[in-house]
Structure 1
Amino acid sequence: MTGSGARSIYVASAEGDTGKSTVALGVLALLAATGGRVGVFRPISRADAGERDYILDLLLQFTSVDIPYEDCVGVTYDDVHADPDAAIAEIVARFHTVADQCDNVLVIGSDYTDIASPSELSYNARIAANLSSPIILVVKALDREPSEVRSLAEMLMVDIKNSHASTVGVVANRCDPASLIDVANALRDTGVRAWALPEDPLLTAPTMGELQEALDATLYSGDGDLLDREALEVMVGGMTVEHILERLSESMVVIAPADRSDVLLALVNANAAEGFPRLAGIVMNGGMRPHPMIEGLVKGLHPTLPILMSRHGTYETARIASHTRGRMSSGSARKIDAALALMERHVSATELVHELNLHVPEVVTPQMFEYQLMTQARSDLKHIVLPEGGDDRILRATDRLLRRRVAKLTLLGNPESVRRRGNELGIDLTDVDVIDPTSSDLIDEFADVYTELRKHKGMTREKALEVLRDESYFGTMLLHTGRVDGMVSGAVHTTAQTIRPAFEIIKTVPGVSTVSSVFFMCLADKVLTYGDCAVVPDPTAEELADIAVSSASTAEAFGISSRVAMLSYSTGGSGSGKDVEKVQSATELVRERAPELLVEGPIQYDAAIEPSVAETKMPDSPVAGRATVLIFPDLNTGNNTYKAVQRSAGAIAIGPVLQGLNKPMNDLSRGALVSDIVNTVAITAIQAQQLSLVERSRDKGGMA
């Protein structure tokens, strides 16, 4: 235990290239998911003066406290060289500055440089002992037999013990996937909890951008956005074209002189052709440009494949490229997702929390809420359709969702162009159905169903065939016919384009006539539910009651105990006017329709969420000061309030989440980020899980 009362965990290794940052990232995500104030501390920074430690930068984005970068660093390697004991004293003092502001702290040990004596691990263990931080030891299993991994771990644990620190767990990282179970079994004899993670080449592969920097190369042609694609393998194209082509593999970078026109043209065309692997890029070495005629031909093909131009010779280019190791930095989205997925699949969160003996406060942080979304979505995999398959954000979100195993996915769009773009971005769509509504075999069946649904509006089969070529309508029909469990759209389409098909086809839940929405507002220490901030402009009292009942139900589905505040500019009977009367009527309707709900209204925002104000204005209310579901009287108030809180209080707004429909369908903002899409798909999957539970319960009741 530290003097501050915070608990900490120290992630350390005894050699380079162990993938320690992968483990640290996964542990930090778990710490954040337990709630409370979670910080990170780097005792010895690898950054030179004026630079930032990229590992610390990476980890800081997963913390739940706002502590400046400079406060999260202990000392430099130069400080350790100069006076190891004084450096430890400084580390301890600076650590407590962080720990005093946190419930749990992740400490990530130094990177192996052979600068400390007697060993860098022993020095890290001395630091851990002074911080009262138990150690998670990371060992590299690559090119080692299971017995060698166990012997290494046991030897290092003795070193840690001799430095008066304790080992709480061992992670064998970068295992040969074929020997993963054998390594895990071998580590059982170490006497501490142990886990094994397989080697993932993506985590150590450099991006084309990193190769460009290492080679001091320039981008000759191609899509600059694709420089973030990882190069999983390097090949020197020094043979004849046919032999080069037969050796190509997915995400390979090929090195060849610019005067090998045959190789350059063959690679550019192979990358665009069906049946060939999608390359990460080409490096033209030697400092030459292609012949003007070849240059014109390449440019005329408009390749998106990044082609770099390096001044180095073939040998030096190949040497640099093969020795360039990729970093997992704060902008490495795919590497971060891959690392988190590895930890989620192979390390038991329950075991780790038990071993670490963490503080688990009652507060709910944004990181905790998002982690719970992913965990719940994974518990019962649902099938979600994304109609905007041609959008890069959708494709990147698809990659993240697949890596994290959040949902099964179907994309709509032209299969050839969607898969081609996915390949260019380095996204594996093998397990994703891509359907073109304009040519799908389902169009005739859907036309018959839609014609029947809309015959009262004069719908004809010919008109239905035309309507259903639209992605939003086709996706809605996939949902209506049970081929998918939910739909997420709106990154490209307007809200009206997304919701109109739902009104026509999906329709509303029995007893609810109003489709509305909520935002989950993730504040520093709690999650509030705001409704309606996106759909109904000026609800009547009846519609407001619908919104309140639906919002309470949505909140409960996501683990938020519902205490409903019907907001107004008046609290209780302190004001009058038609706007107040509308909220009064809506509150009474909620009490009639759902007598089990805790609801208060009319009530002002401050009285709803601030206990001290509630004590003055409504001292006997079970909702005032403790409201979790806040219902705004109109769209103008709700939309502006959620945006004001989002920007001014730094809240994370997740939504809008549509409610009141018979089946889960959600609308994205056209400015949605990849993370917004991921969260919305997880929410839609959870809504589908809830619907399945209701249907199973109904079926059991019918059978009884």
Structure 2
Amino acid sequence: MARSVYVTGIGRGDGRQVVELGVMELLTRRVDRVGIFRPLSHDDGPDRLFQLLRARYRLAQDPAGAVGVGYAEAARVQAERGTDELVELLVGRFHQVAADYEVVLVLGSDFHDTQLPDELALNARLANEFGAAVLPVVGGSGQDADSVAAEVSNALRAFTAQGCDVLAMIANRVPPEQAGRARELLEGRLGVPAWVLPEEPSLSAPTVAQVVQALDATVLEGDEAGLARNVLDFVFGGAMLPAFLPALTAGCLVVTPGDRADLIIGSLAAHSAGAPSIAGVLLTLDERPTRDVLALAARLAPGTPVLAVPGGSFPTAAELFTLEGKLTAATPRKAETALGLFELHVDAAELTERLSVSRGTRVTPMMFEHDLLERARSDRRHVVLPEGTEERVLRAAEVLLRRNVCDLTLLGDEGAIRRRAGELGLALGLDEVPETGAVARIVDPQTSPLRDTFAERYAQLRAHKGMTVELAHDVVADVSYFGTLMVAQGLADGMVSGATHSTAATIRPGFEVIRTSPGASIVSSVFFMCLADRVLVYGDCAVNPDPDAGQLADIAVQSAATAAAFGVEPRIAMLSYSTGTSGSGADVDKVRRATELVRELRPDLLVDGPIQYDAAVDPAVAAAKMPGSPVAGRATVLIFPDLNTGNNTYKAVQRSAGAVAIGPVLQGLRKPVNDLSRGALVPDIINTVAITAIQAQEATR
């Protein structure tokens, strides 16, 4: 039977969705097929958390099969036939799910209007009958550290008295000022691990879209990104503009009658200036600004929501103050925040070990991507992003910071970056210094004191090309050169660029400043091709147009090292249009000579060639064309004879086979610099930054 994890609470308001999401993240890192089962559910529409997990983790599970029974039916069965009958019914439905999955995440009841007596005991019994380990979550909202510790201890006793196998205890939503003391009171005193998660305001804050839905508001202005902003505060406008502006707070929703054009325009102008960035404006009394005012609003703060409701300020306020944010498939930023909170305060390695879930043999794209973030986070590094005002880079930066993947430096004009982040409603924590989490800062190459230092260094490095300090002063103001010099001087561990810059603009500074690592004759690249059940490494698909035999051998050796560094056992196939000795010609001879050179350089590596692609990856074809080869049919590192072949092949596999292509990842430089495609999506940037951080880790070992 599948190993199952039963996440449950002891009452309402514990915010355990954060823990359920975090546990799902851990499980999907280990196994491919994770099922979800909610024994008891409300019959009020789709299960929000299931929909979030299904979308985020690409689950194929039928929603109907993920639910046991509704609370009303459960109460009826329990009243008419007894608890044993209810438990037997739910156990049967659980096993229907467990039969199809390697592991099952069970979502306990929510203690809200359930009409079930002794709900804690029912959850405990179900966990025992399912053979599931229990992970109880205790809500600590508004409590001091002593109360939190006492409640956690009492909850542990309650579940162990029921015979449960308790994995750990988690206190959630603890006031931040009480969290440290609560950890001290719990550490090492329970016999099981106990972790404390502080309250995170942005998780309980509704989004603007949730305000729209709750109030049935009309959206006069605003885009999808604006509607996704968190509403962290409410500011009600009645005063004149000079007295009103100081009351604005970051992330607030301005609530004002619709005829106050001065407050509408003043709020949006303040937002545009980043002082502060607001969530939006809500107009009451069914008053609408004139078309000219709305047009000015749209120009001042593009994308910022302007909403309208028919009610007055008082009844609107009464509704607003009852709203609470929810984790749903429509709030992916909240999910990233929740995972970042979980990963920062829960010992993932210890919890994973206690889960006793063996890693599967298949490596899916999602598992590979999870592993990248986990490895980067384990030894946090500092990556510089030269394209600091680019929307995709800023969105990726928010995720990287919330997930504590790495520290970041954004290059560019500070005012422009802050304004752009504000327009997008992003929380980059630029003015915060968290004790343990990742941090971001902004550096403007035009005004930074480092510019003079970098100019002198660059002039020294390029003196043989006639470079002077005066000329270098202009060169290093370029963000790509400035970022590369930060890496070269040890002020950052790696750089990622290319979302708006060409490949040449990104990597040329690396050639000039960082230069090739010892033993590498050239800089080359690989793509990690994440197929449905494995990860292959393709090289070189981005840098060298027509390498000679020696360069091709160097690419193969570098690619094998990169593969090994990211957990892919290197078995190198030197690709050609001919397999073995069946063909001849200059192109085949080049690959044959390169194969010989790899064997001479690294006799410890498994390598074969020339070999055709099908013989390299298909065991049946390999048995016919190259029997007895240690590589044929099992190749993991595929080296293409030239850029034309490599680039077209990776794109064909990416588009036709639905593979996730991560890269290009540059190799051969002394310190990591990586290039992005100008069509890169936010997940591509996140993955590339994580890879860069891991390369930086490897460079210091």
SS for the counterpart of 2:696 is: helix
SS for the counterpart of 1:134 is: strand
Among 541, 546, 566, the alignment partner of 1:538 is 546
Q: 1:414-425 maps to which residues of 2 (within 5 A)?
A: 414-424=413-423, 425=425
Partner of 1:131: 130
Partner of 2:266: 266
Q: 1:389-408 maps to which residues of 2 (within 5 A)?
A: 389-408=388-407
Among 474, 477, 490, the alignment partner of 2:498 is 490
The one-character-per-residue Cα deviations of 1:542-562 (angstroms, maximum 9, x if unpaired) are 221111011011112223332
Q: 1:489-508 maps to which residues of 2 (within 5 A)?
A: 489-508=497-516
CA contact (8 A) 1:572 1:601 kept: yes
State the shift of 1:395 in Å. 0.9
Among 435, 440, 446, the alignment partner of 1:432 is 440
Cα distance in 2 for residues equivalent to 1:639 and 1:69: 40
1:559 aligns with 2:559: no
Cα distance in 2 for residues equivalent to 1:637 and 1:77: 59
Partner of 2:558: 550
State the shift of 1:159 in Å. 5.8
SS for the counterpart of 2:542 is: coil
1:683 aligns with 2:691: yes
The one-character-per-residue Cα deviations of 1:439-472 (angstroms, maximum 9, x if unpaired) are 4444444344444444544556565444444322
Q: 1:600-679 maps to which residues of 2 (within 5 A)?
A: 600-679=608-687
Q: 1:636 to 1:105 in 2, by over 3 A?
A: farther
SS for the counterpart of 2:526 is: strand
Taking only aligned residues, the RMSD between alpha carbons, in angstroms, comes to 2.9
State the shift of 1:142 in Å. 0.8
Q: 1:584-603 maps to which residues of 2 (within 5 A)?
A: 584-603=592-611
Q: 1:352 to 1:299 in 2, by over 3 A?
A: closer
SS for the counterpart of 2:574 is: strand
CA contact (8 A) 1:337 1:400 kept: yes
Q: 1:44-83 maps to which residues of 2 (within 5 A)?
A: 44-46=40-42, 48=44, 51-61=45-55, 63=57, 66-83=60-77
Q: 1:214 to 1:494 in 2, by over 3 A?
A: same
SS for the counterpart of 1:317 is: helix
Cα distance in 2 for residues equivalent to 1:87 and 1:651: 45
Among 5, 9, 12, the alignment partner of 2:8 is 12
SS for the counterpart of 1:353 is: helix
Cα distance in 2 for residues equivalent to 1:231 and 1:53: 23
**Corresponding letter in the other structure for 1:354:** E
The one-character-per-residue Cα deviations of 1:401-439 (angstroms, maximum 9, x if unpaired) are 222222221112221111122233232223533233344
**Corresponding letter in the other structure for 2:502:** T
1:209 aligns with 2:209: yes
Cα distance in 2 for residues equivalent to 1:264 and 1:609: 62
Partner of 2:19: 23
Cα distance in 1 for residues equivalent to 2:46 and 2:504: 45
Cα distance in 2 for residues equivalent to 1:333 and 1:317: 27
TM-score norm. by structure 1 comes to: 0.89
CA contact (8 A) 2:3 2:132 kept: yes
State the shift of 1:97 in Å. 4.1
Q: 1:686 to 1:165 in 2, by over 3 A?
A: closer
Q: 1:619 to 1:483 in 2, by over 3 A?
A: same
State the shift of 1:208 in Å. 1.2
Cα distance in 2 for residues equivalent to 1:82 and 1:226: 45
State the shift of 1:77 in Å. 3.8
State the shift of 1:140 in Å. 0.6
State the shift of 1:519 in Å. 1.4
**Corresponding letter in the other structure for 2:386:** P
Q: 1:433-448 maps to which residues of 2 (within 5 A)?
A: 433-448=441-456
State the shift of 1:612 in Å. 4.8
The one-character-per-residue Cα deviations of 1:14-48 (angstroms, maximum 9, x if unpaired) are 33321111001111111122345333333334464
CA contact (8 A) 2:344 2:404 kept: no
Q: 1:600 to 1:101 in 2, by over 3 A?
A: farther
Partner of 2:229: 229
Question: More displaced, 569-578 or 304-313?
Answer: 569-578
The one-character-per-residue Cα deviations of 1:319-348 (angstroms, maximum 9, x if unpaired) are 222212112123423212221122212111
State the shift of 1:240 in Å. 5.0
The one-character-per-residue Cα deviations of 1:340-397 (angstroms, maximum 9, x if unpaired) are 1222121112321232222333443434333332233233332221111111111111
Partner of 1:378: 377
**Corresponding letter in the other structure for 2:214:** A
The one-character-per-residue Cα deviations of 1:154-199 (angstroms, maximum 9, x if unpaired) are 5555665676654332211101122223434555655543221111
CA contact (8 A) 2:75 2:116 kept: no
State the shift of 1:680 in Å. 0.9
Q: 1:429 to 1:565 in 2, by over 3 A?
A: same
SS for the counterpart of 1:512 is: coil
SS for the counterpart of 2:638 is: strand
SS for the counterpart of 2:278 is: coil
Cα distance in 2 for residues equivalent to 1:653 and 1:95: 37
CA contact (8 A) 1:538 1:635 kept: yes
CA contact (8 A) 1:32 1:64 kept: no
SS for the counterpart of 1:167 is: coil
Q: 1:110 to 1:604 in 2, by over 3 A?
A: farther
Q: Which ranges in structure 2 are unaligned for 5 or more consecutive residues? A: 79-83, 432-438
SS for the counterpart of 2:167 is: strand
CA contact (8 A) 1:519 1:531 kept: yes
SS for the counterpart of 1:685 is: helix
Partner of 1:322: 321
How many residues matched?
Answer: 686
State the shift of 1:619 in Å. 4.2
The one-character-per-residue Cα deviations of 1:626-673 (angstroms, maximum 9, x if unpaired) are 322121223333333333433444433221101112321101122222
CA contact (8 A) 2:273 2:419 kept: no
Partner of 2:436: none
Partner of 2:339: 340
Q: 1:157-196 maps to which residues of 2 (within 5 A)?
A: 160=159, 165-187=164-186, 190-196=190-196
SS for the counterpart of 1:196 is: strand
Q: 1:73 to 1:300 in 2, by over 3 A?
A: closer
**Corresponding letter in the other structure for 1:533:** C
Cα distance in 2 for residues equivalent to 1:190 and 1:302: 52
State the shift of 1:116 in Å. 4.0
Q: 1:300 to 1:520 in 2, by over 3 A?
A: closer
CA contact (8 A) 2:237 2:255 kept: yes
Partner of 2:412: 413
Q: 1:299 to 1:651 in 2, by over 3 A?
A: closer
SS for the counterpart of 1:323 is: coil
SS for the counterpart of 2:126 is: helix
Cα distance in 2 for residues equivalent to 1:191 and 1:289: 61
Cα distance in 1 for residues equivalent to 2:91 and 2:239: 58
Question: More displaced, 479-488 or 284-293?
Answer: 284-293
SS for the counterpart of 1:546 is: helix
CA contact (8 A) 1:38 1:64 kept: no
Cα distance in 2 for residues equivalent to 1:228 and 1:451: 47
Partner of 2:81: none
**Corresponding letter in the other structure for 2:672:** P
**Corresponding letter in the other structure for 2:397:** T
CA contact (8 A) 2:383 2:494 kept: yes
State the shift of 1:94 in Å. 4.3
TM-score norm. by structure 2 comes to: 0.90
State the shift of 1:56 in Å. 0.7
CA contact (8 A) 1:75 1:87 kept: no
State the shift of 1:243 in Å. 4.7
Identity %: 49
Q: Which ranges in structure 1 are unaligned for 5 or more consecutive residues? A: 694-704
State the shift of 1:148 in Å. 3.8
CA contact (8 A) 1:39 1:63 kept: no
